Amino acid sequence: MSERFVIQVDEDLEAIMPRYLEIRQKELAELEEAVAAKNFEIIRLLGHRLKGTGSSYGLDELTRLGTLIEDKAVDEDMSEVPEHTAGVRHFLEHLDIEYVEMDE
């Protein structure tokens, strides 16, 4: 059985989280295409988006992976980029979100 990532997210995000994840899935496909084409500018841009939005939605793993992807793209270094991109896919495909009331 494959591992699941159960992430607790503020219930205030419940209405917008599906759209956020839909956008990430679309961008993941774009990222995979950019990796195959070794298009560092697109890889950098999409890594930057992951880095910038993940934690805001309670998904720190996306921020972590986005940072790694962006840093490699800035250096025009493809090593590990396919693995990090696969990590994004794995995380998104195995993500379970629990909406909870968070203290302010």
pLDDT value for 84: 98
Q: What is the mean pLDDT of each run of 10 residues along the chain (104 residues)?
A: 87 96 98 98 98 96 98 98 98 97 81
- CB atoms near residue 52 (< 10 Å): 14
pLDDT value for 103: 78
Compute the distance between CA of residue 18 and CA of residue 9 in angstroms, rounded to an integer: 12
CB of 4 within 8 A of CB of 92? no
Sorted by sequence, the CB contacts under 8 Å of residue 62 that are 6+ apart come out as 24, 50, 51, 53, 54, 55, 88, 91
Compute the distance between CA of residue 104 and CA of residue 86 in angstroms, rounded to an integer: 34
Three-state SS string across 41-62, please? HHHHHHHHHHHHHCHHHCCHHH
The pTM of the full predicted model, rounded to 2 decimals, is 0.94
Q: Please, what sign has the CA dihedral across residues 99, 29, 26, 28?
A: positive
